[in-house]
Structure 1
Amino acid sequence: MKFALLSLLALCGVAYVRSDEPATCRCALFVSSPHNEYMVYELAPVPIDSCESHKQCKNRCVTELNQDTSNLDLWATMGEDTVGQAFCHELYRHFFFWIHNSYVHGYYEMCGGPWEYTGIDSQQPLCCDMGQQEHCIA
């Protein structure tokens, strides 16, 4: 009986501590391969009203990701490189040397939950060869 009461109190304490954490939203872009998804870009986490604010998180991510990447135009400039070149460089840093005809997809994640699709994709497929963006050939 004591064990059950202590367990219940411990669970309540965990739930209480969890509720004090701020609700956060993460936004990222992933490229797909036949077997995996690879993160190529992530924004800093942003606060949201609650861990139930799916629409708020999704809308914020779509807006921010589109602003940062010129609406996911892989040939638009992003700093000193193109958007696609920045992605190819990031993939290369993580030992992904070749990407061929792969679209980049936007996702959001709330409060440590699963990544969810935003509905946005790159305007063109991404092709990388040893960290260098190339025009994709069918």
Structure 2
Amino acid sequence: MKFALVSLLALCSVAYVRSDEPAVCRCALFVSSTHNEYMVYLLDPVPIDSCESHDQCKNRCVKEVNEDTSNLDLWAMMGDDTVGQAFCHELSLHLFLWIHNSYIHGYYQVCGGPWEYTGIDSQQPLCCSMGQQKHCVM
């Protein structure tokens, strides 16, 4: 009984603390491998109305990803490099030197919850060799 009471109090305190935190939306792009998803791009978190505002977060992420990456066109320019080259460089920092015919997928996260699929994917597959973007050959 004592353990159950302590557990209940701990849960209540976590719920109380969480209710004081601002609602935050995070957006990111991931590439899939056979067994994992790897983050290649993380946008700055943005405030949302509440932790129930999934559609608001999803819509904001789709808009910002499309603006930052020219609608996920991997051959469009993003600063001094192409979108795909920026992703290849990021992956090479984590020792993923070869990526072959892999699409990039958009995800959003509400208030630290699970990552949820936005429904957007890159226009082309990504191919990287030693951190350099290459044209994919099927």
- TM-score, normalized by the shorter chain, greater than 0.5: yes
Matched, 1:46 2:41: no
4+ residue stretches of structure 1 with deviation over 6 A? Answer: none
Q: How many residues align?
A: 138
Distance 1:13 1:136, change over 3 A: same
Q: Quick one: percent identity of the two aligned structures?
A: 83
RMSD over aligned Cα atoms: 1.4
- Once residues 48 and 129 of structure 1 are traced to their aligned partners in structure 2, the CA distance between those partners, rounded to angstroms, is 38
Q: What residue is the counterpart of 2:125 in the other structure?
A: 125
TM-score by length of 2: 0.94
After superposition, the Cα gap between the structure-2 partners of 1:3 and 1:122, relative to the gap in structure 1 and judged at 3 Å, is closer
Q: Determine the C-alpha separation between the residues in 1 that align with 2:105 and 2:55.
A: 18
Cα 1:9–1:36 shift into 2, 3 Å: closer
Residue 2 of structure 1 and its aligned partner are, at CA, apart by 6.5
What pairs with 1:22-37 in structure 2 (closer than 5 Å)? 22-37=22-37
Give the whole-Å Cα distance in 1 for the aligned partners of 2:35 and 2:9: 43
Shift in Å at residue 6 of structure 1? 5.2
Give per-residue Cα distances to partners, 1:55-109, cap 9 Å, x unaligned. 0000000000000000000000000000000000000000000000000000001
Post-superposition offset of 1:33: 1.2
Superimposed CA distance per residue, residues 39-63 of structure 1 (whole angstroms, 9 cap, x where no aligned partner): 0000011111111111000000000
Deviation at 1:8, TM superposition (A): 3.8
Q: Which 5+ residue runs of structure 2 have no aligned equivalent?
A: none
